[in-house]
């Protein structure tokens, strides 16, 4: 038989059209009463909620570590610095204020400098102002002052160093700073610390 | 049933038993007929059809109307079950079908099972030409049996066969050509 003839034979072959009404009816009843529809709803929600919950958890964790935790650390560092007796003495003596806080190289650094408003003193030529060892230029908004390293675990200022003429905290090269370690006793007794 | 109507029914059937019942009523004869024409065994056809619909019900909520239509999806499940039947000397009912039977499902219980089956077997014997051809078809590898049955006995278009078997249309055409050739050689 030729290929085409076989195709024709297959096309025209009378195929069995048999039904089993008993089986059809029994299976229909069994399927509809099997409880799958109720189970499916619960499973459906579980399947839908599982990835959403996981995604939300990941977003929350990422948000915490990338946004909330750094903000909390910055706020804590500011608070620790403000409450530190040594820093309070510096602020009082030189009329400084916290000009910035930054998380860098695994540490928290606080810049103590003249308030920006103070540096914009128009009374001095070219905005130059020399103020008790702290130099600020209003036009370029340069800061001079101190940089503090805050130990969040011990809740104290652990090191400090002097800085000269930087425009922002991020521009400070930490390797260029001669940090002086502060012992816990020093911060506890600011009157004995050598501020100069 | 047109495509849009079927889409809507499938969407509803994911929650509503009534909608699932409509799909079942529409597709049961097609699937049972397909399985019977592949296996030529009424008891196996009952088990395989049951398993196909149990699986369809279980997985219906996962079904998304993408590249495969609901009809092709059902045929795909049935085809997999048929292949499993041919692979195993004794077709083992899966856990899902056994669970259903534990819940009281007896394939032919509402009607007289014996007389219904005997009557059906007598009917089947009348299709002598078909049985003669089918005897040769079952000797072919499963991939050829699938395409011959779907194309000539189920009157499926190449595109739909490709959907059911998850193959390209070109592959189906060449499989079909080779299948007919093999069958001709066996004749």
Residue A125: what pLDDT?
A: 42
Residue A15, H or E segment:
none
Is the CB of A16 inside 8 Å of chain B's CB atoms? yes
Residue A135: what pLDDT?
A: 38
Residue B135: what pLDDT?
A: 93
B98: pLDDT confidence band, cut at 50, 70 and 90? low
Residues 27 through 66 of chain A touching chain B, CB cutoff 8 Å: 27-34, 36-37, 40-41, 43-44
- Supply B30's token pair: 């097609």
Residue A147, H or E segment:
strand A143-151
Buried b or exposed e, range B36-57, using 16+ CB within 10 angstroms: bbbbbbbebbbbbbbbbbbbbb
- Record: contact B130-A16, CB cut-off 8 A: yes
B4: distance to nearest CA of chain A, Å?
A: 23
* Domain edges within chain A: 20-196
Share of chain A above pLDDT 90, in %: 9
Partners of B124 on chain A (C-beta within 8 Å) are: 16, 18
The 10s digit of each residue's pLDDT in A172-184 is: 777 778 888 887 7
Strand ranges inside A45-142, DSSP E:
97-104, 107-113, 128-131, 134-137
- The structural domains of chain B, ordered by start, are 1-112 (1.10.1740.10), 127-187 (1.10.10.10)
Partners of A10 on chain B (C-beta within 8 Å) are: 133, 148, 152-153, 180
**Spatial CA neighbour of B55 closest among A45, A26, A34:** A34
Long-range contacts of A128-131 (CB under 8 A, 24+ apart): A131/A94, A131/A95
Stretch A136-161: mean pLDDT: 76
Long-range contacts of A96-99 (CB under 8 A, 24+ apart): A96/A134, A96/A145, A96/A146, A99/A143, A99/A145, A99/A169
Residue B97: what pLDDT?
A: 59
A2: distance to nearest CA of chain B, Å?
A: 8
The 10s digit of each residue's pLDDT in A81-107 is: 888 888 888 888 888 888 888 887 778
Partners of B49 on chain A (C-beta within 8 Å) are: 23, 27
Residue B140: what pLDDT?
A: 93
Question: Of A43-47, A109-113, B101-105, B179-183, which range is least confident?
Answer: B101-105
Question: Of A20-24, B61-65, B83-87, B129-133, which range is least confident?
Answer: B61-65
ipTM of the prediction: 0.85
Residue B101: what pLDDT?
A: 63
B131: pLDDT confidence band, cut at 50, 70 and 90? very high
Residue A164, H or E segment:
strand A156-166
Asked whether residue B94 carries a pLDDT value surpassing 70, the answer given is: no
Stretch A148-170: mean pLDDT: 81
In a mutational test of the A interface, the residue from B34, B46, B56, B178 whose CB has the highest number of chain A CBs within 10 Å is B46
User: What's phi and psi for A122, nearest 5 deg?
Assistant: -85, -5
Asked whether residue A131 carries a pLDDT value surpassing 50, the answer given is: no
Residue A39: what pLDDT?
A: 60
Calpha distance A141→A58 (Å, rounded): 41
Residue A156: what pLDDT?
A: 87
Asked whether residue B38 carries a pLDDT value surpassing 70, the answer given is: yes
CA A7, A11, A16: angle at the middle one, nearest 5?
135
* Max avg pLDDT among A156-160, B90-94, B158-162: B158-162
Calpha distance A39→A120 (Å, rounded): 71
Is the CB of A14 inside 8 Å of chain B's CB atoms? yes
**Spatial CA neighbour of B36 closest among B54, B25, B48, B27:** B48
**What's the order of all strands across the beta sheet hosting A107-113?**
A97-104, A107-113, A143-151, A156-166, A180-181
Stretch A20-33: mean pLDDT: 88
Q: How far is CA A113 from CA A83, A90, A145, in A?
A: 17, 10, 5
Asked whether residue B184 carries a pLDDT value surpassing 70, the answer given is: yes
Asked whether residue B168 carries a pLDDT value surpassing 50, the answer given is: yes
Residue B146: what pLDDT?
A: 95
| Alpha helices (runs of H) in chain B, residue ranges in sequence order | 3-13, 17-39, 42-59, 70-87, 95-102, 113-125, 128-137, 142-148, 158-165, 169-186
By C-alpha distance, the chain A residue nearest B56 is: A31
More confident residue, B93 or B139: B139
Contacts of B112 (CB under 8 A, 6+ apart): A22
Asked whether residue B64 carries a pLDDT value surpassing 70, the answer given is: yes
- Record: contact A26-B60, CB cut-off 8 A: no
Chain mean position to CA A127: 37
Partners of A28 on chain B (C-beta within 8 Å) are: 21, 24-25, 28
Q: Give bridge partners of residue A4 from the DSSP assignment.
A: none
Q: Which of B32, B107, B183 sits opposite A19 (nearest CB)?
A: B32
């Amino acid at each position: 038989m030729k290929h085409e003839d076989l195709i024709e034979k297959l096309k025209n072959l009378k195929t069995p059209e048999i039904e089993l009404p008993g089986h059809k009816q029994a299976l229909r009843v069994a399927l509809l009463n099997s409880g799958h529809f109720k189970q499916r709803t619960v499973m459906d929600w579980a399947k839908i909620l599982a990835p959403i919950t996981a995604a939300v958890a990941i977003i929350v964790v990422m948000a915490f570590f990338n946004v909330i935790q750094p903000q909390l650390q910055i706020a804590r560092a500011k608070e620790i610095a403000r409450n530190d007796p040594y820093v309070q003495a510096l602020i009082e003596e030189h009329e400084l204020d916290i000009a910035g806080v930054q998380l860098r190289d695994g540490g928290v650094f606080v810049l103590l400098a003249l308030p920006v408003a103070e540096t914009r003193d128009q009374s001095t030529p070219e905005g130059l102002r020399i103020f008790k060892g702290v130099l600020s230029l209003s036009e370029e908004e340069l800061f001079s002052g101190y940089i503090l390293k805050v130990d969040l675990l011990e809740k104290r200022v652990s090191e400090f160093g002097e800085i000269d003429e930087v425009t922002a905290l991020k521009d400070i090269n930490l390797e260029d700073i001669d940090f002086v370690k502060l012992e816990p006793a020093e911060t506890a007794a600011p009157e004995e610390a050598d501020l100069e | 049933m047109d495509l849009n109507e079927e889409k809507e029914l499938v969407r509803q059937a994911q929650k509503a038993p009534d909608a699932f019942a409509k799909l079942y009523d529409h597709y049961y004869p097609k699937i049972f007929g397909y399985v019977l024409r592949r296996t030529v065994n009424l008891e196996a056809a009952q088990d395989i059809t049951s398993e196909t619909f149990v699986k369809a019900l279980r997985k219906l909520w996962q079904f998304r109307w993408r590249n495969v239509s609901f009809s092709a999806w059902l045929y795909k499940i049935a085809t997999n079950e048929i292949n499993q039947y041919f692979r195993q000397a004794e077709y083992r009912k899966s856990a899902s079908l056994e669970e259903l039977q534990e819940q009281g499902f007896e394939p032919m219980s509402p009607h007289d099972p014996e007389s219904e089956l005997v009557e059906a077997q007598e009917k089947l014997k009348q299709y002598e030409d078909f049985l003669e051809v089918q005897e040769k078809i079952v000797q072919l590898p499963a991939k050829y049996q699938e395409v011959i049955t779907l194309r000539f006995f189920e009157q499926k278009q190449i595109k739909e066969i490709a959907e059911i078997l998850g193959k390209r249309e070109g592959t189906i055409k060449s499989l079909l050509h080779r299948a007919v050739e093999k069958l001709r050689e066996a004749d």
